[in-house]
Amino acid sequence: MEQAVNTEHLWMPFTANREFKERPRMLVSASGMYYTSDDGRQILDGTAGLWCVNAGHCHPKITEAIRRQAGEMDFAPLFQMGHPKAFQSASALAAIAPEGLDRVFFCNDGSESVDTALKIALAWHRARGDAQRVRLIGRERAYHGVNFGGIAVGGIAGNRKQFGATLANADHLRHPLDIERNAFSRGLPEYGAALADELEARLLALHDPSTVAALIVEPVQGSTGVILPPKGYLQRLRDICDRHGILLIFDEVITGFGRLGAPFAADYFGVVPDMITCAKGLTNAAVPMGAVMVRRDIHDIFMETAPQGAIELAHGYTYSGHPLAAAAMLATMEVYREEDLFARAAATAPYFEDAAHSLRGLPFVKDIRNLGLVCGIELESLPGKPTARAIDVFLRCFWDEGVLVRTTGDIIALSPPLIIEPAQVDRIFDAIASALRAQA
């Protein structure tokens, strides 16, 4: 089964290339909750790939839809042309969108969805005659992908510093993680809603609200270690944006499609933004696809103000609404509906929460944060070696326990497929516990 693969040519993304290539971790097939590695081991997937394979791997219905589409029509442009599945996909997304967000722009991934939403925000203000609104606000520790717009509003120094100047017109709020007051909260933390008021203070003291186009936030910050919004925090952001005519964008690339046990985090929190960016679970990750769901009246301004016959928004990708992605997306939405996967995630969440918090008291565990089927386990860093502790857990889980977890800093992040069974939940947390005990 094991094959020698030449690893020298591939420059791997977000990877310690030299370390990886010394002892490659190769996955060769996948089904349901499991990967198979090149040495024939079954690896239990605690991360749904990269927070994306919500319905489990190689779902037969999705696989078949892609296979059929590949033989029927490989590609068709959406620039001044159309194909039915692109329109059907947009309608399928609109059908589960939060109230009013029923206009859909397609792209290829989460990073493009963020840049698309930021551009729509800027262009919308301009179309309304409010062209001085050019400022974009994000948060510290936000991850909004890797394109220039996304790293400008993103809040991860490591993702920005290699690239010199990014957009100058971005600013950032503090993130709401407060371990001192909220450590080991179950579900949403109690303290910190007032941090939202920093937005208003910043607007009034520094920027003048009338220069700000949009605020973008992940309802739950995933990639930087599962940072949950304190109770009431998102509603406060919504209220401040409303008071000052600022668009609120939820980046739901991770939280979309059932991760919290509801279609979108907007549904879970009962806070409706003006736009939602999504990707990943949109096609169960089987074909790359991203989308922006836009409030209908935002879309309509473009249609009302551009001259007849003109292109209303100078934006789009060759592969926007690609036929394979559209086919995968339509099948994925059917699977979510037929298998009631969002409700299934909600039903599994309490068991997952109990299992996560069973790690409390184990060596080096500093905080445990969870919501729906997301969990972050923050560890005390090894002195002078940030990230080393979590990477050691990741490697032990992979090699010794046959479990895939993810790390970010010294945080273990979990986001299993929504089909996970209780026994598999136990196996994941048992694996992490063993890895931690082995370090003690």
Which residue has its beta carbon closest to ligand PLP? 110
Encoding tokens for residue 348? 């599994």
- Choosing from 46, 138, 192, 222, the residue that interacts with ligand PLP (CB under 6 A) is 222
- What is the rounded distance in angstroms from the CA atom of residue 117 to the CA atom of residue 130? 17
Closest to 21 measured CA to CA, from 5, 33, 32: 5
- What is the rounded distance in angstroms from the CA atom of residue 83 to the CA atom of residue 76? 7
> Within positions 20 to 79, which residues make up the interface with ligand PLP, using CB under 6 A?
none
143 scored as a contact of ligand PLP (CB under 6 A): yes
- Choosing from 136, 213, 279, 327, the residue that interacts with ligand PLP (CB under 6 A) is 279
- What is the rounded distance in angstroms from the CA atom of residue 217 to the CA atom of residue 143? 9
- Choosing from 115, 171, 251, 378, the residue that interacts with ligand PLP (CB under 6 A) is 251
Q: How far is CA 370 from CA 235, 352, 415, 423, in A?
A: 20, 9, 10, 18
CB of 49 to ligand PLP, least distance (A): 11
Site map for ligand PLP, 163-202, x if CB under 6 A?
Answer: ----------------------------------------
Residue 293's DSSP bridge partners are 104, 276
Window contacting ligand PLP (CB under 6 A); options: 62-70, 205-213, 247-255, 336-344: 247-255
Q: Tell me the DSSP string of 91-155.
A: HHHHHHS-TT--EEEEESSHHHHHHHHHHHHHHHHHHTT-TT--EEEEETT----SSHHHHHH--
145 scored as a contact of ligand PLP (CB under 6 A): yes
- Choosing from 56, 98, 110, 155, the residue that interacts with ligand PLP (CB under 6 A) is 110
CB of 145 to ligand PLP, least distance (A): 3
Window contacting ligand PLP (CB under 6 A); options: 70-78, 216-224, 368-376, 431-439: 216-224
Question: Residue 251: phi, psi to the nearest 5?
Answer: -90, 105
Window contacting ligand PLP (CB under 6 A); options: 163-171, 183-191, 250-258, 416-424: 250-258
* Site residues, ligand PLP (CB under 6 A): 109-111, 114, 143-145, 218, 222-223, 251, 253-254, 279
